[in-house]
Structure 1
Amino acid sequence: MDTSSAQSWDAMYDSREQVFSGAPNPVLVGEASGLPPGQALDVGCGEGADALWLARRGWLVTAVDVSRTALRRAAAAGGALAGRVCWAQADLLAAPPPAGAFDLVSVHYFPLPVRPGHGPLRGLLDAVAPGGTLLFATHDLTGLSPDPERGFDPGAYYQAHDIAALLDPAWEIVVDETRPRPAPAPAGTRHTHDTVLRARRPD
């Protein structure tokens, strides 16, 4: 695990009593409500709202984050669902999840960097079980310029259409679109749209 990354995320969570709203991401609610419950992987689970929403709908969830602070908060919020959610500290960019283990791999606003050979992305795709679903949502970075002072390059991160283009043709692409955000942009940002990919792995 990249300890510096874990420490920086811990510092971000430690700076406030609650970072996020506590509500599940609207993309998850809209796209996953009709899926039959099974095993789910929540990538970059943060304070746990998505994982808890899935658990309440019958899913068994592995919720992963690099931040111990976020995971402690998530576990405290979901005490009654302890048997349905496994909170795990891990860096999925460095160590892929088990292959073929999850009926849903949910990746929401997780900064997934483009790497040579697409190793971390391939690990997440491989984690989807036959017949399972990949759900990926992130901020639309179209039109944003690199910001060297902040170390930010929009071209360094996957957008939904990038991932769709890398999928094996046997995958069924259910949704691949850019859509207006249903909620205001995060503080300090100008994000007005999201890119969303929902794809089903062949049986």
Structure 2
Amino acid sequence: MTEAFWEDFYRDRDQVWTGKPNELLVREVAALEPGTALDLGCGEGGDAIWLASLGWQVTAVDVSSVALERAARRASEAGVTVDWQQHDLSVSFPSGSYSLVSAQFFHSPVEVDGERDSVLRKAAAVVAPGGVLLIAGHAGWASHQHDHPADVHFPTTAEVLAALDLGPEWVVEADEVITREVPELGTRADNVLRIRRG
């Protein structure tokens, strides 16, 4: 069901996202020393391609083969190399350990209860010592979005941290709610967590 939903989501349009990296990723990662990175839910590859252009060795994962094909084509056009992998992260997960694991707006309208939390715990488990887990997510609907489901819950940073249940070796370096202007949507508040493994 998850794969079918996202294949249709991407197949319906020639391009879904701008191709630019997420602003919160740029804000939190630009000053980090490049190393190995894992991009979860990479979509059409904007974040992964940007990271690779900075010298990161990137593994990028999505459930949609359509999105991954577009991402690979754009990476080739940009002259960068990314290891593109197809995974339903509730079923399979990339191997290895990473100095950066990024989950940008890792929301899904078809996720099963607890599935996101489980995937983010797997994400934490593959962060190398000294590495960073970066999680950004919507804190609510944009100000101009009025026709939306009333039962959608956007996790707070406190809820994400509680679900991760991290050990004492982890340090929360950033725990913020950031409000930004979004074209055609008004203002939107987003959560960002940057957590470093000791």
Conservation of the 8 A alpha-carbon contact between 2:136 and 2:190: yes
> What is aligned with 1:145?
none
Conservation of the 8 A alpha-carbon contact between 1:75 and 1:82: no
The amino acid that maps onto 1:184 is V
How far, CA to CA, are the matches of 1:81 and 1:123 in structure 2? 30
2:100 to 104, 110, 113: 104
Conservation of the 8 A alpha-carbon contact between 1:97 and 1:123: no
Deviation at 1:73, TM superposition (A): 0.4
Unmatched tracts of structure 1, length 5 or more = 143-148
2:182 to 178, 181, 184: 184
Q: What TM-score comes out, normalization by structure 2 length?
A: 0.84
How far, CA to CA, are the matches of 1:81 and 1:126 in structure 2? 31
> What is aligned with 2:145?
none
How far, CA to CA, are the matches of 1:168 and 1:47 in structure 2? 33
Deviation at 1:92, TM superposition (A): 1.3
**Matched residues, number:** 189
Determine if the alignment matches structure 1 residue 32 to structure 2 residue 24. Answer: no
Conservation of the 8 A alpha-carbon contact between 2:38 and 2:100: yes
Q: What TM-score comes out, normalization by structure 1 length?
A: 0.82
Determine if the alignment matches structure 1 residue 42 to structure 2 residue 18. Answer: no
Counting strand residues as a fraction of each chain, which structure ranks higher?
Answer: 2
How far, CA to CA, are the matches of 2:51 and 2:28 in structure 1? 12
How far, CA to CA, are the matches of 1:76 and 1:135 in structure 2? 26
Unmatched tracts of structure 2, length 5 or more = 142-147
How far, CA to CA, are the matches of 2:196 and 2:119 in structure 1? 19
Conservation of the 8 A alpha-carbon contact between 1:97 and 1:124: no
Q: Which runs of structure 2 are paired with 1:45-194 in the superposition (5 Å)?
A: 45-79=42-76, 84-98=81-95, 101-111=97-107, 115=114, 118-141=117-140, 153-154=152-153, 158-165=155-162, 166-181=165-180, 183-184=181-182, 192-194=188-190
SS in structure 2 of the partner of residue 192 of structure 1: strand
Root mean square deviation of aligned Cα: 2.8
The amino acid that maps onto 1:128 is V
Deviation at 1:119, TM superposition (A): 3.1
Deviation at 1:191, TM superposition (A): 6.6
SS in structure 1 of the partner of residue 39 of structure 2: strand
Conservation of the 8 A alpha-carbon contact between 1:94 and 1:120: no
